[in-house]
């Protein structure tokens, strides 16, 4: 009983450590092995997570449960679990972890962790890292008869118990086989000390103290006293999604407090931009529901009378906002462009100026001027040709050289080249301040915008209903796609990203019917329901 209490306490501490990680929520520590793999001069089994910088081996995924803070050359000293968990015999607990959840120190990369990694084979693999490490199958846990209990295991924690016949722990740093046990079932041999595969299996055998020597159901002689608990990826994500939902909720509330309104949502499936989008019916309104607008807003071309400027509330020469790489001005009337230029503008001829950033062509009486927020002309008129960038517009003044196409894989609203006549309109943003700066870096790095649905209201007098409660804004973490029966409201396997069907994201009719009513925040998860609702305000 004491050992099982300690195992479960260690399990909860490990989940808490992973979910609270400051740089990569959900990441787990490397095990503490019997070699000084953290190269800090301390002895083996020093209580520290081994931040392995050598070529990866599956054996690195098994060791003792680390509890002390990491040290250099790890990326930074992280707080340890804070407790040296031991079983009833005084042994430190052992620990195995999935390769999907550890930092790749060899390539200096954190794992990208989100619900897309839960269902192998992974249709969407956002965790393809620079080091070439794609997603891996999860660990396995077997019962005493060798039957599969779970093949979705993120981590295993094991009590080694007292030494059995053939085990010797008297040396300075015994290897795993001196702690963890082996059992034979028929012709098959299972070793908890093995770590040869990334999807290694671990067996929950019967304690040999409870097995008689003439028990024919087990191969004799029978020596086994390992006890284990495990964490599935589903358990880990369920807790992690609560943190993600709270972060999204708090970030939206901070945005509203600072700006007086909530940002317009991004369209479903916008895997290449995730910027707030204007509706096609009116350029002055935006989407009230969709995914979080984590990137800076699209620019919108709005027709005005006899304008001579292009302006944008977001930086127009910035890959992280409008994405414009260059603006070319071609004169149609007025004086010639004087033979001078400055900054990042180049006078190509007396009728053409190209800018890749802030600068000028010409002089005070016949000039083209570009800043980070737009371009204007003095003493001449013409057209602005914008290369790349993301723009929405009404009619007149703008023509697209490349019309965007929408597919399930990429629902981009980006245009390759747009030409806007200065006599017809201004280039401006859809009016919302960027939401990205209100989120922690890890939120976007781990691509959580794929798994958070957002519903807001404008004006503030409008309301959303959640289980009988009214509010002005809410977010729903959508969890992993449901791909097997019993299916969610969609009636079949969910596929994300999806450009046009919210049922691929939301699991119930109440959440997916678009009537400004969502499930209560207290609704529990089920096999066909992963949605978790969070009230933003009030």
The predicted-structure confidence for 123-164, as pLDDT tens digits, reads as follows 444 455 544 456 788 999 999 889 999 999 999 999 999 999
Clarify whether residues 100 and 231 are in a common domain. Answer: yes
Is-contact 127 445, C-beta < 8 A? no
Clarify whether residues 46 and 139 are in a common domain. Answer: yes
Domain extent at residue 413: 298-429
Clarify whether residues 415 and 443 are in a common domain. Answer: no
Clarify whether residues 398 and 496 are in a common domain. Answer: no
Residue 457 lies in a domain: yes
Clarify whether residues 357 and 476 are in a common domain. Answer: no
Mean pLDDT of 189-204: 90
The predicted-structure confidence for 208-258, as pLDDT tens digits, reads as follows 888 888 887 778 888 889 999 999 999 999 999 999 999 999 999 998 888
The two three-digit tokens of residue 493, written as one number = 């396997």
Say what the pLDDT of residue 413 is: 35
Residue 266 lies in a domain: no
Is-contact 155 139, C-beta < 8 A? yes
- Polymer length of the chain: 538
Give CA–CA dist 82/66, Å, rounded: 9
For residue 515, the tally of other CB atoms under 10 A from its CB is: 10
Give CA–CA dist 264/279, Å, rounded: 10
Clarify whether residues 425 and 454 are in a common domain. Answer: no
Residue 244 lies in a domain: no
Provide the pLDDT confidence category of residue 324 given band limits of 50, 70 and 90.
Answer: low
Domain stop point among 390, 412, 429: 429
Say what the pLDDT of residue 393 is: 38
Q: Quickly list DSSP for 190-233.
A: EETT---STT-EEE-PPPGGGS-TT-TTS-SS-----EEEEEEH
Residue 289 lies in a domain: no
Give CA–CA dist 175/154, Å, rounded: 23
Clarify whether residues 425 and 446 are in a common domain. Answer: no
Is-contact 198 61, C-beta < 8 A? yes
Residue 205 lies in a domain: yes
Read off φ and ψ for residue 13, nearest 5 degrees: -65, -40
The predicted-structure confidence for 287-302, as pLDDT tens digits, reads as follows 788 888 887 554 433 3
Clarify whether residues 74 and 176 are in a common domain. Answer: yes
Clarify whether residues 222 and 357 are in a common domain. Answer: no
**Residue that wins the pLDDT comparison between 216 and 466:** 466
- Coil/strand/helix, residue 400: strand
Say what the pLDDT of residue 426 is: 37
Is-contact 371 317, C-beta < 8 A? no
Clarify whether residues 48 and 83 are in a common domain. Answer: yes
For residue 144, the tally of other CB atoms under 10 A from its CB is: 17
Domain stop point among 409, 429, 449: 429
Give CA–CA dist 355/369, Å, rounded: 9
Give CA–CA dist 456/471, Å, rounded: 9
Clarify whether residues 503 and 390 are in a common domain. Answer: no
Residue 268 lies in a domain: no
Residue 180 lies in a domain: yes
CA separation, residue 329 to residues 286, 325, 368, 396 (Å): 30, 14, 8, 18
Residue 97 lies in a domain: yes
Its pTM stands at: 0.74
511, β-bridge pairs:
none
Clarify whether residues 93 and 193 are in a common domain. Answer: yes
Burial of 306 (0-12, 13-18, 19+ CB in 10 A): exposed
Domain count, the chain: 3
Say what the pLDDT of residue 322 is: 57
- Coarse DSSP helix, strand, coil percentages of the chain, rounded to the nearest 5 percent: 15, 30, 55
Domain stop point among 429, 450, 470: 429
The predicted-structure confidence for 341-373, as pLDDT tens digits, reads as follows 999 999 999 999 999 889 999 998 888 888 876
């Amino acid at each position: 009983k004491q050992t099982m209490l300690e195992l479960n306490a260690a399990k909860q501490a490990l989940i808490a450590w992973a979910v609270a990680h400051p740089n990569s929520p959900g990441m787990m520590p490397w095990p503490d092995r019997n070699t000084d793999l953290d190269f800090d001069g301390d002895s083996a089994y020093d209580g520290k997570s081994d931040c392995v910088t050598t070529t990866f081996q599956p054996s690195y995924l098994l060791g003792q449960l680390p509890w002390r803070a990491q040290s250099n050359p790890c990326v930074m000293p992280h707080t340890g679990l804070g407790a040296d968990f031991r079983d009833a015999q005084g042994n430190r607990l052992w620990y195995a972890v999935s390769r999907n959840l550890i930092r790749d120190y060899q390539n200096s990369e954190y794992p990208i962790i989100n619900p897309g990694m839960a269902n192998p084979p992974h249709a969407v693999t956002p965790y393809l890292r620079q080091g070439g490490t794609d997603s891996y199958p999860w660990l396995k846990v077997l019962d005493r008869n060798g039957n599969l209990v779970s093949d979705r295991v993120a981590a295993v924690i094991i009590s080694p118990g007292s030494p059995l016949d053939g085990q010797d722990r008297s040396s300075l740093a015994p290897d795993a086989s001196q702690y963890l046990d082996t059992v034979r079932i028929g012709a098959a041999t299972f070793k908890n000390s093995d770590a040869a595969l990334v999807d290694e299996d671990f067996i929950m055998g019967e304690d040999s103290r409870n097995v008689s020597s003439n028990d024919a159901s087990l191969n004799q002689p029978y020596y086994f006293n390992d006890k284990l608990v495990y964490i599935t990826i589903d358990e880990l994500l369920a807790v992690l999604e609560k943190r993600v939902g709270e972060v999204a909720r708090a970030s939206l509330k901070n945005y509203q407090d600072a700006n007086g309104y909530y940002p317009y949502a991004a369209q479903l499936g916008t895997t290449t931009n995730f910027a707030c989008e204007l509706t096609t019916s009116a350029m002055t309104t935006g989407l009230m529901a969709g995914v979080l607008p984590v990137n800076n807003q699209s620019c919108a071309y709005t027709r005005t009378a006899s304008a001579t400027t292009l302006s944008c509330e977001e930086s127009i020469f910035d890959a992280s906002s409008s994405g414009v790489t260059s603006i070319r001005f071609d004169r149609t009337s007025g004086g010639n462009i004087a033979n001078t230029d400055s900054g990042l503008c180049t006078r190509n001829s007396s009728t053409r100026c190209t800018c890749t950033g802030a600068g000028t062509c010409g002089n005070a009486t016949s000039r083209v001027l570009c800043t980070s927020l737009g371009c204007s002309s003095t003493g001449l008129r013409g057209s602005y040709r914008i290369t790349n960038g993301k723009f929405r517009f009404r009619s007149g003044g703008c023509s697209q050289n490349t019309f965007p196409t929408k597919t399930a894989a990429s629902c981009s609203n980006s245009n390759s080249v747009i030409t806007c006549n200065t006599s017809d309109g201004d280039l401006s943003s859809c009016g919302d301040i960027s939401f990205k700066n209100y989120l922690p870096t890890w939120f976007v790095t781990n691509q959580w915008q794929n798994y958070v649905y957002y519903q807001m209201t404008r004006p503030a007098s409008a309301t959303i209903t959640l289980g009988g409660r009214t509010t002005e804004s809410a977010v729903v973490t959508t969890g992993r796609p449901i791909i097997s029966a019993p299916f969610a409201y969609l009636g079949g396997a969910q596929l994300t990203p999806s450009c046009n069907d919210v049922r691929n994201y939301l699991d119930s009719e109440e959440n997916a019917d678009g009537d400004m009513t969502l499930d209560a925040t207290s609704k529990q998860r089920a096999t066909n329901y992963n949605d978790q609702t969070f009230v933003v305000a009030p």
